[in-house]
Structure 1
Amino acid sequence: MTLDIPRSAAGLGDSEAAFAAIASAAVRQAPTFVGLCDAQLRLSFLNAAGRVMVGLSSGADITAYALLDFFAPQHRRVVAEIGLPTMLREGQWEGELCFRHFTDPSRQMEVRWSAFALRDETGDLIGAACFTNDISARKQAEQALRSQQMLLASVLNNLPLGIGVYDRHGDLIHSNQRMRDYTSLARLPSRDPVSSRRWRSYDADNQPIPPDRYPGARALRGEVVTPGVDFLYCEQGAAERWMRISAVPFRPEGEEPSGAIVVVQDVDDLKRAAERVELAGAELASQSRFFQATLSSIPDFVYAFDPQRRFVYANQAMLALFGLSMEEMLGRTFADLNYPRDLAERLEAHIDRVLSVGATVQDEVFYRSPTGYGAYFAFLWGPVYAEDGSIELVVGVSRDTTERRAMEEALKKNETRLRAATELVGLGIYSWNPVTGVLDWDDRLRAMWGLPSNVPVDTAVFEAGIHPDDLARVQDAIAACADPAGDGHYNIEYRVIGRDDGVTRHIATSGRATFEQGRAISFIGAAIDVSAHRRTEAAIQASEAQFRSFTEHSSNLIWIGDPVAGTIVYRSAAFERIWGLPCDNAPTALADWIEAVHPDDRQQVERALATVRAGEVAQYEYRIIRPGDGKIRWLRDTSFPIRDENGAVSRIGGIAEDLTPEDNHQVYLVSTKAAEARHLVGLVRSVGYRARSFESASAFLDIAPVLAPGCVLVDLRGAKLQGLSIPRELKARSSALPAILLDGPAADVASAVTAMKAGAIDYLTMTDDESLRGRIANAVAECHGAARPAARDESAASRVERLTPRERDVLLGLVEGGTNKTIGKKLGISPRTVELHRAQVMNRLNAGSLTELLQIALAAGIKPVTRVSTPLG
């Protein structure tokens, strides 16, 4: 079969995309019914072969059908009440049912239906896969075989002979009705002294034949006793009758004799009354016609050859094959019937072998008859003995095996396709006999263990390759799989260290055990090397960890949104500092987030976001009104599109920088004692500073990178070593947050020295509240002074450079002597908006008055536009 693999997938090597594309092509082009259902068991995919099977065109909408719609009405209840619940409970179900035909309601197809539940990594049902084979031909073949068996049983029961089959011990295992009518030979007379007294026969010397020479006993020793021996048989309470007994060894499929076939014929009339010879002859003729009619009605080909390889008999089926009458057929050889020379020589050699050694011959040949019918024929030929023991005929039976061979070829093709599919997806197939412990691996599985092809494997080789840390877990899974109390499933992933190459691989494997009489008797499974997948997962996890580490420690807000759902899907920790809200309390809808944007800036923000959704990068500035305290903060946001593998914008992201000058009146208090923390918060707030407490050093240090400027007051009384770690860590991070350490009243000079060496800018000891309040106020004031960056460029020009274009326009208007109204008219904005920009310019340039603002502007080189006077001016 040729797979139509996409050119893009074929170039990807061993990647998952290539395997997925190849597997998809194999499913689409599979010669059997392959269907996929969603979680509601409605069909979502049906391959071309499946559509042909049920009479659906290639353009038919399969999603309009549920899984039950494909079954014949009489089987839907079985599927609904047994099949589907079993599949959902055990993962799969299969059975032989009937499919309907969508375009021909009169047609139904007998199929072998297999369904598997599909679940995601969390175990939730996501759908089902269905695989179906049309078994109508096999069913018809089975029905024909049953009919033939019934015909043979009918023939045997109606033969005018008693026929019995005995095992090697002489016990009867089967007989026809005539045998039971003649005599109740439940055991051969040679093995039963009581019944042997009822039989008497004499040799040529008129001497009684002993039981060990009876035909049945001789047949058990491998002799052929034909045409038979005449016995006088005396049934209890009845007159003696002559019976002719024949026997042949029973050799099933050419094995050593394991029993005997005994034929009993009532010849009493022949032996007793000469006057009944004519009647007996008529009866024999009648029997011959009966056999002739029986053989003629058999659908197989029955025929016989004489020692000169000529046909001496052919039944009706054989005559029809050649298109000849009985008269035309008799006396002909294979050459006369225009058999191909090589085929004729092959068949004549078989006849010679039967005639020379009395062998039974079986073979299968292809032959095209003169009527034009070509087929494969399997035949069985054997000898027919004369009274003197010589072979006088070769009798044969042939059967048309074309359909069987076609089924075998189809099975081989399916096996080849399955092997090709396993090669495509990299599956290794193996089996295990829980009784003997024998393992059977293919070469792909050997390669996973770092073994050469065809190297012998056993349990020791298997366990030696498993990573030591995983071996106990694998052994437990195997024991559970082989436990009859379980479900027999085996599904596990573990590491393997290659024996010859030393490579560590991640192997995912699954399989199922088969149980019989309360114990596991077989197991078959498949394994796949998922090392590349695990490496990809590890790389993704490392990348995600790096991204989160970067975003959580960035002073800028990093956000990601879903433009289709209209939601914010991620915000970094800086959101809490800028918005004044915990991330958990932040709105998720983009519309709710825009509600916090200043009304005058919302239209600008919405236009910018629309540009980003269209695939462009946008940079814009806007104000927000903090929901918690109503304060205004200026932000500069750089937003950008995030595209999926198809190039479509699936996400939008942004980096928001807070441009608002910070208020340093903030104290962060770290204390492990809740009561002391509340007490110190009260003291800090009483001297005019804002306070925020943390219960541990780790809780503070985790969020320190995104905290607003301020200072840290660390209470050492609860956990001194933990508290000393804070200034050390802040110093190592080059953080601008200075630390003040507070210790108990009994602290000594050495403690103070340790605190200062750790990086504290001040060290206090506990006293009364009034004194402590003043000391904290002084220390915090000095702390804030120390926190002011000494190297900051405070020149007028550098400060003006930090203004936005709109703020520069407002500043220029002020330098030219404009009012809010005239500036707004010139710039096309409202006076209120000019007022807000003006206040922001004052904050950015750290100007306390309009005069100071103009001085800074002039120092930065901003001058009013010079107007040339005119005569009218």
Structure 2
Amino acid sequence: MPDVTPPSVGSNHNGAAFAALAAAVVEQATTFVGICDTKMRPCFLNAAGRAMVGLSVEAEITDYAIPDFFTPKDRVIIENVGLPAMLRDGHWEGELCFRHFTDPARETDVRWSAFVVRDGGGKLIGAATFTTDISNRKQAERALRDQQQLLTSLLENLPLGVGVYDRSGNLIHSNQRMRDYVGLTRLPSAAPASSRRWHAFDANGAPIQPSDFPGARALRGESVMPGIDFLYEGELGAERWMRVSAVPFRREDEDADEAIVVVQDVDDLKRATERIEAAGAELASQSRFLEATLSSIPDFVYAFDAQRRFVYANSAMLALFGLSADKMLGKTFADLNYPADLADRLNRHIDLILRDGVTVEDEVFFRSPTGRAAYFAFLWGPVRADDGAVELVVGVSRDTSERRAFEEALRTSEARLRAASELVGLGVYSWDPVTGTLDWDERLRAMWGLAPNAAVDMTVYESGIHPDDVPRVRSAIDACVDPSGDGRYDIEYRVIGHDDGVLRHIATSGRTTFSNGEATGFIGAAIDVTEQRRNEAAVRASEAQFRSFAAHSSNLIWIVDTAAEKIIYRSAAFERIWGVPCEEGSIEVAEWIEDVHPDDRQQVAHALASVRSGEVVQFEYRIVRPADGAVRWLRDTSFPIPDENAAVTRIGGITEDLTQEDVRQVYIVSARPAEGRKLASLVRGFGHRARTFDSSNTFLDMAPVLTPGCVLVDLRSERNEGLAVPRELKARSVTLPTIVLDAPGADVTAAVAAMKAGAIDYVVLNDEASLGPKLASAVAECVGTVRPTTRDENAGARVARLTPREREVLVGLVEGGTNKSIGQKLGISPRTVELHRAQVMNRLNASNLTELLQIALSAGIAPTAGGRRSPRKPT
């Protein structure tokens, strides 16, 4: 139908009257008439149309779109085929299905014819549709198909050979039995060679000629009923009596007859000496065959009489009820304890078939007396008597529970897929390799930086791909449409958004479908992995930074897998401390611990066990280097590394070498960087190593982990801040001797303040010339006082880390107190004392009380004069 342009109203017509007349005609039309605006949204729907879709006269229709009037499966056709074709060609029509707005279960088969409307200038002003209800026709077509299927089934199961021959005597249709009987592909009258196998005689005993055979006569318009008996000679010479009948058949618009030929094997009847007994025996044989056949069918086969009683049930049906035939036949649904509503529903079906002779299909849920509960789909049809009246209803049922379960699982799977797609941000698309048509969802359009309703084609798709990735994408597309491949498409590439310019990483996969060696379809899915790639890059950068830090750290950094008991990482400092290359060191924890000094292995094992239980532990121990047997003192800070489930699967540590090296290190603290660099240059000229700090706070934060050396503090810029250095080193038990430099004019009071703060030397710099000698002398004397850290100092450092309460408990133990006496003295319970005592032993890495007391005495904690020493073992 072409575009419709509203006609102009001539001068001899009243335009308003004409419009009113047209509106009245449309409103009173008995077919669906609708008008849409340029956005394809309805703006008018006549009364017949509203009634067809269940909309009241007052119902507002402008909120709907054209696809809203169709069922979900046809809505896709309208959106993707109908509307595009109408806008392109000016019109489109098809047979579809309307939904009903007030009755969701009701649907209407319609022929939908739509066309665009343009004004006099050709501009689109809307669209109109004329829709016809074709439900009755569709229902009639379905009934006709059912009858055709029933007729075909009947013909295939008749104990007769049935064939249709054209006017030339060629077989054009037949059932299987016809082919099994004689294989008559041509009528004997048209095939002289085959006519010799057929022998028949008239009433006078004369042979009947092929031109007078039933098939030939039917082609001349005669009916040969009930037929002629022939003695048929088979391929192997065996002879059988066949009864052949034929009737003419003329198709519409044909001027010549075809022939319907029926062949029945009557050899047994002809040869029987007792025709009646033979007929009875044949009937009984056929009945037994039928019964055996029906009994072997897994479906449920049964029949009802006019009183709705069971008159037949095959073995499957009897087994379903757990009854014998004599217990079931003659019973109604009520007699068999069917639920009342189900019995009423089935009885109505039987009444309908008995009255109208129709076929009924339905599906019900039923729990049999044997306990089998399932959905059963059934087909019931009439059995007619000779006079055409329906005397029986025959039915076949099948258990459809598995199918329904599969359908439900499929619906659930689809729902889960949709939910999963929403959850992970999956975009779904399709591509027609033949036409190049693309169909994207909104999520995929967003990945390309497009609006939700933006048009997409191959040009839009490819223009969004990063130029460097286009060759890879094209190659992957070529591979997936190659029939010699598996049709898979799996690639990741970058996309630059069309509208927003955002760079995104897109991972996509899909599969091509092939037909006759050609690619005919493609379905795929894509996901935005930009954030994941950013995180991976950040992780790589973080890992690179960590490895760079670890590689240049003077301390050893290590990680252990607690399940495998293997060292999975250690930094380059291992070689300096252990004296062997990293790759040659043992990765087994059990082998590594053999390098620990025998006296320290127990406390190391105890400390690592505490770390595995989730604690952060600092401990000191010695190793015997495997390379040269040298003993080195190490301080280790170990910590747990939990996984995402908070389980400690790895532990890590930072190991500091406390062994005194013959290295002269000077730390320079000066608030003036230029002066600090000048002092560092002088110190290096004396053969010492120098390191500068621009503030006392920075230095004091680093002091606990610095190697032995001396400190040079410049008081010339920040006196108070400079004097804080020796004072804090002393308070923190950090053994780094300190020299202070002061400006000319400083008096004795300044020197006394420096010495009280903890400095071991005080140097006044009068001029540049005197700086070198004075500084060299002070540094040499200071470096000479540096000595290796002793066990007593180590013990003091560890005791210094105790809390005030833990120190009080330690003092009580040194004085020989018991848990009870210490608790009474401190005002806490013996149980609390016991817990503090365990924590003290853990912090000091003591395995028993004797070792604990040795550490305390080494740290300078001795019994007080009034303390009581108990000779017995503590509790």
TM-score, normalised by the number of residues in structure 1: 0.43
TM-score, normalised by the number of residues in structure 2: 0.43
- Name which one, 1 or 2, has greater alpha-carbon Rg: 2
